[in-house]
Structure 1
Amino acid sequence: MKEHPRQRVSRPQHVAHLLAPLSLLCLALAGCTVGPDFVRPDAPANADYSREKLSTTAQADIDTGGAAQRLIAGMDIPGQWWALFRSPALNALVEEALRANPDVSAAQAALRQANELVYADQASLFPSVSGNVQKAREKVSGVTSGLPESPILTVSSASLSVSYAPDVFGGTRRQIEATSAQAEYQRFQLEATYLTLTANVVNTAISLASVRDQIAVTEEIIRLQGGQLDLLQAQRRLGAISDADVLTQQTALAQSRATLPPLQKQLAQTRNQLMAYLGRFPNQDQGERFNLASLQLPQALPVSLPSDMVAQRPDVRSAQAQLHQASADIGVAVANQLPQFSITGSLGSTVAGGTKLFSSGSGVWSLAGAITQPLFDAGALEHRKRAAVAAYDESAARYRGTVLTAFQDVANALRALEADADALNQQVVAERSAQASLDLVQTQFRLGAVAYINLLNAQQTYQNTALARVRAQAARYSDTTALFQALGGGWWNRTDVDPATKGRPDRFGLPSWQEIMPATKKPAPSDSARFD
């Protein structure tokens, strides 16, 4: 309520000295923040990915996936690391997944919630101001008041109240620190979601390409076996071979055909998984096709320094944020054991019926300072502090475990790249030898120089080596993706976090009209809940 100039109630001058001692005490202790100050853990000393240094992988004599890969220590990781596969279709799918995947939307909402809670806790550092206007009619008993009649009184009052809890020992600041650490945890959970999603999309595309190439190899083998069966049937009609050879070839052809449905099922299920990553339903498949030849194997691979890798991994940074939160919680628990200070005051006017508010002589005010010290709580606060210390020890152990897992992931990816290159090299040699052997045995069989069992063995060997070569090619692409994921995925080179997740530190706010007046019809779902 706005004051009228002639109705202003001046505060008595002698009130200030009542608050002075308490204010001086609060100022003297304002710089005190109890509990431990968090220190970021140092990078592990003498930690590395292996005892032997790996610099270059083997090369296979094949165009798709056969190039040697160079491992460059200290090389930075691009934010869009998937672009190194040189596939525009793959790039488009990853970008679509980042826009439409529900896990990303959920992680962004969690980060926005955490930031808003930080702002809510920061409000505890400011005074709280509230206004009150009241009008009451009351019938007073004449017997108790000593009046001949029972009068009806009308009392009007208006006041402005201020309350403030000085953060003398830093408990509020430690709580804000803990909430900020929780927001940092959600920040890196979002980055972990980005990293996992992009790696899953790339790996799913690689799986689609591998299965499609395996289907193509299987269909080619079926074609060769079918042609061989026609030849055997012609020879059987001429009496050159027995029925047993024809039946054996028919069995081999049927077995090869039987391997197609599982591959086709795997292809369909993998595509359904890709649709889920993209935020689509299975019937919204737009027919994106991948084969290994459409993906280029990155030849220059980064290997982050061990000290850098710890700072790059989202899971390590999340564990560090949880450790920070646990450290701040100790300070909160300690502050709760110490005296709690509060200052309250009010200024207003109270009048009886027929008199205007803020008229002369109607002013009222109050001012109070309080200190509360827990004296006996059966040890509850002490045990809560010990629990906070134990929680910190737990977080510290989990942080060390997360760092160990991070080094293990990088070491596994590096070893896998080395093994995959050697395996592909040998599989290419084996496939070419098997194909040359099959061609030779087929020629010899037509001339009657070898038995049919030799031809059958040659067919089966070639089939197995061809499929193994495709899987070895795909493994190099998948483990290259695993290395990028193990090193953190280059999130520090991206700026794709939605700015809305930061929220706004508004200090004044009231519900909107839509929030005050509920709609008469059922509201539409929010954008995050729609299936467009």
Structure 2
Amino acid sequence: MKLSGSSLSRRVARAALFAAPALLLSACMVGPDFSRPAAPASRHYDLQAERALTAPGVPGSAQRIDADRAPTDDWWAVFGSPKLDQLMRQAVAGNLDLDAADATIAQANEAVAAAGGALLPQLDIAAQGGRQGTGHGTTTQYAVGPQVSFDFDLFGGNRRRIEAQAALAELQCHRFDAAYLTVTGDVARQAILLASARAQMDALDELLADDRRNLELVRSAERYGSATQVDVALALNQLAQDQTLLPPLAQQRDTARHALSVLAGKGPADWTPPDFALSDFALPAELPLTLPSELARQRPDILEAEAELHAASAAIGVATADLYPHLQLSASVSRAGPGAGTLWGVAGALTAPLFHGGTLKANRRGAVDAYQASFAIYRQTVIRSLGQVADLLQAIHHDNEEYAAQQRALNAAGTSLRISQAGYQAGETGLLQVLDAQRAYQHALIGQLRAKTAQYLDTAQLSVALGGHSDSALARRMARDNE
């Protein structure tokens, strides 16, 4: 039976397609099969801090940990702030770092698809033409037709390359998750710092007003001879010293506003974030805390290091497959002329390395070394993560102590102020004593505000350190859809 050029090319391609799966199933994959590293065996981060944070605390100030509970996707919801939730969605939808990470994920997925093409027959069209001269004259020759080739991947080198690309694509997803956590953590941090700056500036305004009233009273007393110029100088010095506290707080407020604009993908002059007050946040009484073994399975930087380790493992397989023979099938059909008709051919090629100057074995040893380096990086990432959570647990424990101490100082200052005011009304104390008591109260209030700010900041950092979410890419798409 005679076959036309087009039908023969289809038969060749079809035969290669049918043969490929059977041969791939019978082929082996050299190199190590990747298995996830064992999770940390420890059940604690810092035993002393965990015990302190599970003991009964002071209601309204001390925080406790809730073991075996992971942060939710929208981890910032623990603060109970609709204003923060709205700003967070704006920032997640508009952040340009996340745009870049999104595009990088798409690029990595295309790299996986490109590598996967090596498992299928490669079909091309080839054409050539030319003129040839002999003693009898010149002739024009040409040939055009399809060519198909297929690498049987006997030892799995191509499949290991796909495995490596898939691991790198997974790495980019975890890198996006890490960027997502960084962005949301920064938004929460800057919003808290903005609220804290405003609260401290309000308290400082009251303190400066007390300083000015004190200065006027001392000056009046100096005019009547009951105070000296030294007293006036001391009052002026106190006012000047307290005034130095205002510019750093204003800088903190403005920097936080600018940072929130940038996080939302806007220029500071083009978009102003909402103002926050500390009353916009509620301090959660209970904090999530997962086991170290669960942290290793959900924290993005650990998963990123794990994906990199997987890619390094697959690279060993690629380098190992290069040491073994390669079998390739090729076929072609062409229409040649003039007068030559249809030409076709099928050929198989087996190549095996004999001597490459030690290059192939050195490549494999280098791949093993790269795997060992990736494994060390993975272990260090896990240990560093455990240390970060331990630091934050201790920070929250000491935040509780600091807040309780500042609250006691504020209560004592409030009691002193009430006694001074009552004594002044009864004529037993002077106005200067009342103003000094007011100044002491405002100082104590500023200290208490700073302690509460530290509690908010460390609460947010703990949620971020624990992984903070499970599907940030999906959350980002939903946020964009809601815009």
The residue matched to 2:35 in structure 1 has which SS?
coil
The answer to whether the 8 A contact 1:56-1:68 is kept is: no
1:482 deviates by 1.1
Give the 3 Å change call, closer, same or farther, for CA 9–485 of structure 1 in structure 2: closer
Given that 1:338 and 1:374 are in contact with CA atoms closer than 8 Å, whether structure 2 keeps it comes out as yes
Offset, 1:305: 2.1
Of 77-86 and 97-106, the range deviating more from structure 2: 77-86
In structure 2, the partner of 1:63 is: none
Aligned match of 2:99 in 95, 105, 109?
105
Q: Which moved more, 1:392-401 or 1:125-134?
A: 125-134
Cα distance per residue 1:446-486 (max 9 Å; x no partner): 9797998x889867754543322111000111111011011
* 1:154 CA displacement: 2.6
Report the CA distance between 1:247 and its aligned residue: 2.0
1:317 correspondence with 2:300 = no
Q: Pick from 158, 181, 189: which aligns with 2:167?
A: 181
Structure 2 gaps, min length 5: 479-483
**8 A Cα contact 1:79 1:492, kept in partner:** yes
Distance across 2 between alignment mates of 1:29 and 1:410? 46
Contact 1:29 1:169 in 2 (8 A): no
1:401 matched to which residue of 2? Answer: 380
Residues 193, 252 of structure 2: 8 Å contact kept = no
Aligned partners of 1:327 and 1:174: how far apart in 2?
9
Deviation at 1:188, TM superposition (A): 0.3
Following the alignment from structure 1 to structure 2, what is the Cα–Cα distance between the partners of residues 216 and 27?
77
Q: 2:154 aligns with which of 146, 168, 172?
A: 168
Does the 8 A contact of 2:207 with 2:439 survive in 1? no
Question: Are 1:379 and 2:358 matched, yes or no?
Answer: yes
- Counterpart of 2:82 in structure 1 is 88
In the alignment, which residue of structure 2 is the partner of 1:422? 401
Match in the other structure for 2:35: 39
Cα offset for 1:39?
Answer: 0.6
Q: Which runs of 5+ in 1 are unaligned?
A: 61-65, 356-360, 500-532
Task: Compute the displacement of 1:438 (Å).
Answer: 5.3
Q: Identify if the C-alpha distance between structure 1 residues 296 and 201 changes in structure 2 by more than 3 Å, giving closer, same or farther.
A: same
Give the aligned residue type for 1:471. Answer: R
Q: Is the 8 A contact 2:70 2:466 kept in 1?
A: no
Q: How far apart are the structure 2 equivalents of 1:10 and 1:258?
A: 89
Aligned to 1:140: 133
Helix, strand or coil for the counterpart of 2:346? strand
Higher mean C-alpha deviation, range 461-470 or range 396-405: 461-470
- Shifted more, 457-466 versus 41-50: the winner is 457-466
Question: In structure 2, the residue corresponding to 1:399 is in which secondary structure?
Answer: helix
Helix, strand or coil for the counterpart of 2:459?
helix
Shift of 1:56: 4.9
User: Higher helix share goes to which structure?
Assistant: 2
- Given that 1:218 and 1:463 are in contact with CA atoms closer than 8 Å, whether structure 2 keeps it comes out as yes
Q: CA deviation at 1:217?
A: 1.0
SS at match of 1:284: coil
| Conservation of the 8 A alpha-carbon contact between 2:260 and 2:273 | no
1:369 lines up with 2:348 in the alignment = yes
Provide the C-alpha distance between the structure 2 equivalents of 1:57 and 1:217, rounded to a whole number of angstroms.
31
CA distance in 1, matches of 2:69, 2:95: 30
- Distance change >3 Å, CA 246–CA 93, structure 1 → 2: same
Counterpart in the other structure of 1:195: 181
Q: How far apart, CA to CA, are the structure 2 residues paired with 1:316 and 1:6?
A: 59
The change in CA–CA distance for 1:34 and 1:86 in structure 2 (over 3 A counts) is: same
- Structure 2 distance, partners of 1:426, 1:331, is 60
Alpha-carbon distance, 1:230 to partner: 1.9
- Report the Cα distance in structure 2 between the residues aligned to 1:495 and 1:421, rounded to whole angstroms: 36
Structure-2 residue corresponding to 1:306: 292
Normalised TM-score (structure 1): 0.81
1:345 shift after superposition: 1.1
Q: CA contact under 8 A between 1:57 and 1:417: conserved in structure 2?
A: no
The residue number in structure 1 matching 2:481 is none
- Structure 1 residues 8 and 198: CA distance shift in structure 2, 3 A: closer
Residue number in structure 1 paired with 2:278: 292
In structure 2, what is the Cα distance between the partners aligned to 1:482 and 1:338?
51
Q: Partner residue of 1:358?
A: none
The 1:442/1:237 distance shift into structure 2, 3 A limit, reads farther
**1:528 corresponds to:** none
The whole-number CA distance in structure 1 between the counterparts of 2:244 and 2:36 is 58
Q: Mean Cα displacement is larger for which, 443-452 or 98-107? A: 443-452
Greater Cα shift, 50-59 or 276-285: 50-59
Distance in structure 2 (CA, Å) of the matches to 1:94 and 1:428: 31
Distance change (3 Å), C-alpha of 1:248 and 1:11: closer
Given residue 317 of structure 1, which amino acid in structure 2 is its aligned partner? L
CA separation in 2, counterparts of 1:485 and 1:155? 70
Deviations 1:249-275 (A, max 9, x none): 122112212221221122112211111
- Alpha-carbon distance in 2 for matches of 1:228, 1:440: 18
The percentage of aligned residue pairs carrying the same residue is: 36
Question: Larger Rg: 1 or 2?
Answer: 1
Counterpart residue type for residue 194 of structure 1: Y
Give the alignment's TM-score, normalised by structure 2: 0.89
Q: State how far apart, in whole Å, the 2-side matches of 1:195 and 1:183 are.
A: 19
Distance in 2 (CA, whole Å) between partners of 1:376 and 1:493 is: 50
CA offsets 1:180-207 (integer angstroms, 9 cap, x no match):
0000110100000111110110011011
Q: How many angstroms apart in 1 are the aligned matches of 2:173 and 2:448?
A: 41
Kindly indicate whether the alpha-carbon contact (under 8 Å) linking 2:210 and 2:435 is maintained by their aligned counterparts in 1.
Answer: no
SS in 2 for 1:374: coil
Q: Contact between 1:57 and 1:418, CA under 8 Å: does it hold in 2?
A: no
Distance in 2 (alpha carbons) for counterparts of 1:11 and 1:474: 77
The aligned length equals: 468
Equivalent residue for 1:525? none
Per-residue Cα deviation, 1:311-345 (whole angstroms, up to 9, x for no partner): 11001100110111111100000001111221111
Contact 2:24–2:153 (CA under 8 A) maintained in structure 1: no
Q: What does 1:71-86 align with in structure 2 at a 5 Å threshold?
A: 71-86=65-80
Native 8 Å contact 1:86 1:296 kept in 2: yes
**Cα-to-partner distance string for 1:237-292 (whole Å, 9 max, x where unaligned):** 22221122122112211221222122112211221111111111111243511111
* 2:199 equivalent in structure 1: 213
CA distance, structure 2, for counterparts of residue 367 and residue 187 of structure 1? 43
Q: Which residue in the other structure is 1:245 paired with?
A: 231
Matched with 1:487 is 466
Per the alignment, in what secondary structure is the counterpart of residue 283 of structure 1?
A: coil
Do residues 272 (structure 1) and 265 (structure 2) align?
no
CA distance in 2, matches of 1:327, 1:312: 21
Q: What is the match of residue 507 of structure 1?
A: none
* SS of 2:31 mapped into structure 1: coil
SS at match of 2:344: strand
Q: Which deviates further from its counterpart, 414-423 or 473-482? A: 414-423
Distance 2:343 2:73 in 1: 64
Of 228, 233, 254, the residue aligned with 2:214 is: 228
